[in-house]
Amino acid sequence: MTNIITIKKPTDCHIHLRDDAYLKRTVADAAAQFNTIVVMPNLTPPIAAIEDALSYRQRILNAVPATDKLNPLLNLYLHKGTTATLVKDVANTPYILGFKLYPRGATTNSDAGIDDISQFYNIFAAMEKHNVPLMIHAEDNSPTTDIFDRECFFIDKHITKLHKAFPELKITLEHITTKEAVEFINESPANLAATITAHHLWINRNDVINTKIKPHNFCLPIAKRKEHQQALIDAATSGNSKFFLGTDSAPHTQEDKETACGCAGIYTAKNAIELYAEIFDNKGALSQLEGFASINGPHFYNFSPANDTIEITKRQQKIEDKLEFGASIVVPFKSNEQINWSLAS
């Protein structure tokens, strides 16, 4: 039985840090766990220009604790002002990885997202030409689409067509939640990949709504049936390099979650690798953890995995009840619960 593993320091290919006072905590938590992070641009206003991304990156770097180091890579928010010239400039700018596509209104801070994918074909053509990846929040949020069908509908309606039109375009389906998405990625060529969160490996929809409602397990895409959770576990632990770590960790305050109209998002950044390790251990697949967490993402995006390593040990820890975010409180995923793995400091 393995009680301690050493892996290259992981890369989080999908994280929300927010800005200003939030950075102190989100960045410190991320830097303790990750070598490189891919930071999502859904701030208000969105990060949509190169200068804004680079100054955001500097604010992130300023928040890295002196004892740590971190390599933040940024995504730009795809919106109606995005031009083919900007795509070309992104291809030539270090630290900016690609573009994030949010369907308008699909999730937190997506008001500036896009309504009609077909109007962006000139942008996708430029992305394909300059080898700039497209990260997609793949949910069809038209009012008639059931919340549990949103991911499958989006893949059926848009991704297949997009991939056919731009066969070389690098596409990442972010935070996948369904067995259909897993199958789609498995059957696609190497330029299509997917991130998988820790929380979607841990929970299914019964953990969100049951005889009680659990707002801290509510995120988008919403967790699906257990059979989908199982498909995600199988994919993450399979050793297939098209699946990699993206926590989608997103801080929302306790009062914004515990309310009549609570918002979507789960904070896992503080304990992410331990949460993944336990799932891999339960599956007898700890040997696949390093590939999933530290190698597959960097390889897909053509940057180097970490040289540094971390140790994760099979030692129980209790997840903190609440995390202080300046004057606010964030309730982390599995708050107050025991998990079986810990990050060795």
| The pair of three-digit structure tokens given for residue 220, joined into one six-digit string | 């988008």
Query: Applying CB under 6 A, does 248 fall inside the site for ligand NCD?
Result: yes
Query: Applying CB under 6 A, does 250 fall inside the site for ligand NCD?
Result: yes
Query: Applying CB under 5 A, does 248 fall inside the site for Zn ion?
Result: yes
Smallest distance, Å, CB 116 to Zn ion?
22
CA 176 to chain centre: 9
Q: Which does 278 bind (CB under 5 to 8 A by kind): Zn ion, ligand NCD, none?
A: none
Shortest CA distance to 140 belongs to which of 153, 128, 122, 127?
153
Q: Does residue 248 have an active-site annotation?
A: yes
Give the nearer residue to Zn ion in terms of CB position, either 172 or 240: 172
Query: Applying CB under 5 A, does 151 fall inside the site for Zn ion?
Result: no
| The pair of three-digit structure tokens given for residue 292, joined into one six-digit string | 């999933």
Which positions ≥6 away from 66 have C-beta within 8 Å? none
Give the nearer residue to ligand NCD in terms of CB position, either 46 or 305: 46
Q: Name all contacts of 90-93 with Cβ < 8 Å and 24+ positions apart.
A: 90/50, 90/130, 90/132, 91/130, 91/131, 91/132, 93/50, 93/54
Query: Applying CB under 5 A, does 180 fall inside the site for Zn ion?
Result: no
Smallest distance, Å, CB 94 to ligand NCD?
25
User: Which among 248, 256, 281, 308 is annotated as catalytic?
Assistant: 248
Query: By the 8 A CB rule, do 39 and 14 touch?
Result: no
Provide the residue count of the chain: 345
Query: Applying CB under 6 A, does 42 fall inside the site for ligand NCD?
Result: yes
Residues 95-114 that bind ligand NCD (CB under 6 A): 107-108
Q: Which does 265 bind (CB under 5 to 8 A by kind): Zn ion, ligand NCD, none?
A: ligand NCD
| 46, 265, 298, 332: residue in contact with ligand NCD (rule CB under 6 A) | 265
| The pair of three-digit structure tokens given for residue 15, joined into one six-digit string | 């994280």
**Residues with catalytic roles:** 248
